[in-house]
Structure 1
Amino acid sequence: MLDLLDAIPRALFLPPASLFLAIAIGLLLWRRWPRAGRIVAGTGLAALAFLSTNAGAGFFVRPLERMTAPLLAPERAGAQAIVVLAAGRLQQAPEYGGHDIPDYTGLARLRYAAHLQRRTALPLLVSGGDPSASAATAAGKPRYAMADAMATALRGDFGVPVRWTEDRSRTTAENAHFSAALLRRDGVRRVLLVTDAMHMARSREAFQRAGLEVVDAPTMFFGDQAKSLGAWVPSAEGMRRSWYAVYELLGLVWYRLRS
């Protein structure tokens, strides 16, 4: 319940909830102040249509992705380990015997981490806690963190060894804090950090604050793909990219305000 109450105000700042809220406010204003109501509702509707397209999302995605770059020579990066961050998960996947598995964003990160591990032979750390740990404990179920699901996928599906499993974190800042503590015990100071390109700037900042030297190892670049006429057609994927990009931009602003 506390997680739900924390998520509600955050969601209201992000599309599409914030845009539906603007439309609703405009409609409420319409009867008493018709012109103001039309402007507010119309602006919300236009923004909703624009941000539902991959082309519209690109206006927010590209600035984030330009804060990093593909890693072209991982063997020469001087890193001592690879760190891959959790994304989301699919709970109780029936085709995997009811076990949790990484979602498609998490799998993209894992695939790239496996690719890097084969090229560099560096030890690998997976980072991601269990947001529903308290509920699982109350129900008498075994704790199964996102890092556990990631390690299982890397070992079983990609044939890649995992040396460290960081299973306590719930945020990017906690990913950095708990991962750095594990790595420092083994003398690791410089890492290849694997996450998707939109998440990289905030992740890098968090890990640098935790005292690690970071080499960007981003995957999943979307910004330069929205160039066809079809990119202007509203879609669920367009809104997902807009939601994610706005979330990351607000996160960066919050990190820098706190610093």
Structure 2
Amino acid sequence: MFFVLSKVLWFLTAPSNLLLLLVLTGAGLSVRWRRLGLGLCAASGLILLAGGLSPLASLVFGPLENRFPEFRDDGAPVAGIVVLGGAVETGLSAARGQLVLNDAGERMVALGDLARRYPEATVVFAGGSGRLTGDGAVSEAAIVRRRAASLGVAPERITYEDRSRNTRENAAFSAELVKPKPGERWLLVTSAWHMPRAMGCFRHAGFTVTAYPVDYRTSPRVVAIHSTAGDGLFELDIAVREWLGLVAYRMSGYTATVFPGP
């Protein structure tokens, strides 16, 4: 139920969708209540423009991306690496016969890099299907299994977790699959903006991991102005979704705190 509700509610509350719906609502209201309808259209349009072009997305992203520091190798042995899904376009990959990545593709770059740097480590890729209709859906893990060689990694080198649909399941199913031992060092690879929620879920699952954030969208001390409203709204949607996800996961008991930290 949580999975279905999260998909439906997000469609309605994503800033870009919500503001567009308000513009359409205003247009409809203007037929009967001209001033009210046009006012709603104008206000929603201005917010869309400001949200897309202003530094708002960078300001919302900053605390998420800076919550966990970048990984620094101190020479301690690495027993395993868990890479979370979310970077593979499963439908396009299946249709085109190659590994097609989205804007979070750095997760897969890190998988190939870390697999080479730590040849003795267990590599886990955690990614099922995030589609509401699971029938016939291809999992990310299935695509990666077929195309791992394109990352420079032998397919049999990777352990595949293919049941998870969200971050909580990523953590729970990965812990169940590899059964990490106390004292082992495991690296967790995901987007920097997603790391707080991911770390909270892995801690809740009893899986001790070290953050390996990738896929940064902001510079540490630079607030960016976007060149197109589409770029800014895309980034704003991601950031707002993550903040809402943090709150929802805490309320559902999937994490111990709203904003997990180091």
TM-score above 0.5, yes or no: yes
SS in 1 for 2:209: strand
CA distance in 2 between partners of 1:169 and 1:37 (Å): 44
Q: 2:105 aligns with which of 104, 107, 116?
A: 107
Tell me the residue number matched to 1:256: 250
Question: Structure 1 length as normaliser, TM-score?
Answer: 0.80
Residues 14, 247 of structure 1: 8 Å contact kept? yes
Distance 1:97 1:39 in 2: 45
1:74 & 1:158 partners in 2: Cα distance?
Answer: 25
| 2:212 partner letter | A
Aligned match of 2:160 = 165
SS of corresponding position for 1:187 = coil
| Deviation for aligned residue 1:162 | 2.9
The residue identity in structure 2 corresponding to 1:123 is T
Give the aligned partner of residue 140 of structure 1: none
Higher helix content, 1 or 2 = 1
Tell me the percent identity. Answer: 25
Letter in 2 for 1:45: G
Do 2:88 and 2:140's aligned partners in 1 also have CA atoms closer than 8 Å?
yes
8 Å CA contact retained: 1:180, 1:211: yes
2:33 aligns with 32
Q: Which stretch of structure 1 is more off in the superposition, 194-203 or 123-132?
A: 123-132
TM-score by length of 2: 0.79
Is the partner of 2:244 in helix, strand or coil?
helix
Structure 1 counterpart of 2:190: 195
Alignment: residue pair count: 246
| 1:16 aligned residue | 16
5 Å matches for 1:124-139? 124-131=123-130, 134-136=134-136
Backbone CA RMSD of aligned residues: 3.1
2:223, 2:5 → 1: CA distance?
40
**Correspondence 1:49 to 2:49:** yes
Q: Which residue of structure 2 aligns with residue 246 of structure 1?
A: 240
Cα pair 2:104 2:215 within 8 Å, conserved: no
SS of 2:60's equivalent in the other structure is helix
Matched, 1:87 2:86: yes
> Conserved in 1, the CA contact under 8 Å of 2:78 and 2:118?
no
Uncovered stretches (5+) of structure 1, i.e. residues with no partner: 137-142
> 5 Å matches for 1:135-150?
135-136=135-136, 144-150=138-144
Change (3 A) 1:192 1:102: farther
Deviations 1:60-105 (A, max 9, x none): 11121121221122643x54210001114334548x7744634234
Q: Distance in 1 between matches of 2:107 and 2:100?
A: 10
Write the deviation string for residues 114-160 of structure 1: whole angstroms up to 9, x where unpaired. Answer: 22232233220001113468432xxxxxx742012223443343235
Moved more, 81-90 or 148-157: 148-157
**Closer/same/farther in 2, CA of residues 257 and 118 from structure 1, 3 Å limit:** same
Specify the code of the residue in structure 2 equivalent to 1:19.
L
Structure 2: gaps of 5 or more residues: 254-262
Residue 209 of structure 1 corresponds to 204
